[in-house]
């Protein structure tokens, strides 16, 4: 863990409780969809992406606990895109937001260590990780003090071609990843009883939800697929743990691209408030 910091799971839970909602805004900036006002005065697509993301950070800070930048959207601009990502992450940290880097990295040995160094350098609190190469793809991030969300069940329809298949031991491939998530996470549990090793479990696979939650009773779920992709309060509820908590719901397009382009930051702030209020019941308050 980074010096002086509490572990990721505790920082995230604290941020959720401070804002009162398990809402995470996905930053998936696509140049063509950026409002003209956010592009004004910028001199390249990477600059426009940066200005747009800094505006979103400003608009949503204090309303939601976390943001999730999509690494690909920045990497496509090479070095300039990386600088935009660095500055976006730095601004988010200064604004008190938890930063979950959606990079879906999955490598071993020294390469995994380098990816962990890259995420730490960006100031990410956690990273999404693909564990198809086994448990050793995950450990270097934990050693670097980062939280991890292992891809267990993703929101896209054709993920069924891999994740839904059944193993001879009775588990699906997704359930195998769920079990790896629990085993790897056991030694990384914080004072809130959640582990630094969370799981990505989509809101769009309701048939799998309850079974995956049973296997991962105390795991934090990062939940994509809400809103634009068809997930709803109804499809997220079966993902809650016994305490009526344990999820961090992400939405991107519905928040960052509000329909009206005028006064875009105010529009983003309203959309973020609506989203934050909507998912508020998905994290039960102490009382």
**Residue 151, interface with a copy of itself (CB under 8 A)?**
yes
Task: Report in angstroms how near the CB of residue 84 gets to a copy of itself at its nearest.
Answer: 9
Cβ partners under 8 Å of residue 183, min gap 6: 135
Task: State whether residue 176 is helix, strand or coil.
Answer: helix
Nearer to a copy of itself, 96 or 109 (CB): 109
CB 216 within 8 A of CB 224: no
Per-residue b/e over 160-175, b at no fewer than 16 CB within 10 Å?
beebeeeeeeeebbbb
**Residue 167, interface with a copy of itself (CB under 8 A)?**
yes
Residue 25: φ, ψ to 5°: -90, 120
- Rounded to whole angstroms, the maximal C-alpha distance in the chain is 59
Task: State whether residue 25 is helix, strand or coil.
Answer: strand
**Residue 134, interface with a copy of itself (CB under 8 A)?**
yes
**Residue 132, interface with a copy of itself (CB under 8 A)?**
yes
Nearer to a copy of itself, 10 or 102 (CB): 102
User: Of 68, 104, 205, 265, which is the active-site residue?
Assistant: 104
Q: What is the DSSP secondary-structure string of 224-241?
A: --BSTTSB-HHHHGGG--
> Residue 104 catalytic?
yes
**Residue 83, interface with a copy of itself (CB under 8 A)?**
yes
CA nearest to 93, candidates 128, 126, 140: 126
CB atoms within 10 A of CB 4: 5
Nearer to a copy of itself, 7 or 105 (CB): 105
**Residue 78, interface with a copy of itself (CB under 8 A)?**
yes
Task: Report in angstroms how near the CB of residue 49 gets to a copy of itself at its nearest.
Answer: 11
**Residue 118, interface with a copy of itself (CB under 8 A)?**
yes
Nearer to a copy of itself, 6 or 111 (CB): 111
User: Which residues of the chain form contacts with a copy of itself (CB under 8 A)?
Assistant: 28, 30, 70, 72-73, 75-83, 86, 102, 104-112, 114-115, 117-118, 121-122, 130-136, 151, 154, 156, 158-163, 165-169, 173, 176-177, 180
């Amino acid at each position: 863990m980074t010096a002086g910091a509490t572990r990721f799971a505790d920082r995230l839970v604290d941020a959720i409780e401070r804002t009162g909602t398990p809402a995470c805004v996905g930053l998936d900036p696509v140049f063509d969809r950026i409002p003209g006002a956010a592009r004004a005065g910028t001199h390249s697509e990477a600059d426009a992406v940066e200005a747009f993301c800094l505006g979103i950070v400003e608009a949503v800070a204090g309303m939601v606990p976390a943001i999730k930048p999509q690494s690909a959207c920045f990497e496509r601009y090479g070095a300039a895109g990386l600088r935009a990502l660095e500055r976006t992450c730095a601004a988010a940290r200064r604004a008190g937001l938890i930063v979950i880097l959606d990079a879906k990295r999955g490598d071993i040995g020294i390469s995994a260590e380098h990816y962990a160094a890259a995420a730490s350098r960006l100031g990410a609190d956690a990273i999404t990780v693909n564990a198809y190469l086994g448990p050793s793809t995950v450990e270097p991030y934990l050693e670097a003090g980062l939280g991890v969300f292992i891809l267990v069940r993703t929101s896209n329809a054709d993920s069924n071609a891999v994740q839904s298949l059944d193993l001879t031991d009775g588990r699906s491939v997704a359930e195998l990843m769920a079990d790896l998530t629990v085993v790897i996470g056991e030694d990384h549990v914080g004072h809130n009883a959640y582990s630094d090793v969370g799981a990505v479990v989509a809101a769009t696979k309701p048939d799998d939800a309850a079974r995956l939650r049973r296997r991962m009773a105390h795991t934090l779920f990062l939940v994509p697929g809400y809103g634009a992709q068809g997930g709803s309060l109804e499809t997220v509820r079966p993902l809650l743990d016994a305490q009526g908590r344990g999820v961090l719901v992400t939405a991107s397009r519905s928040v960052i691209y509000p329909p009206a382009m005028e006064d875009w930051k105010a529009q983003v702030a309203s959309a973020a408030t609506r989203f934050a209020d909507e998912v508020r019941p998905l994290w039960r308050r102490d009382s």
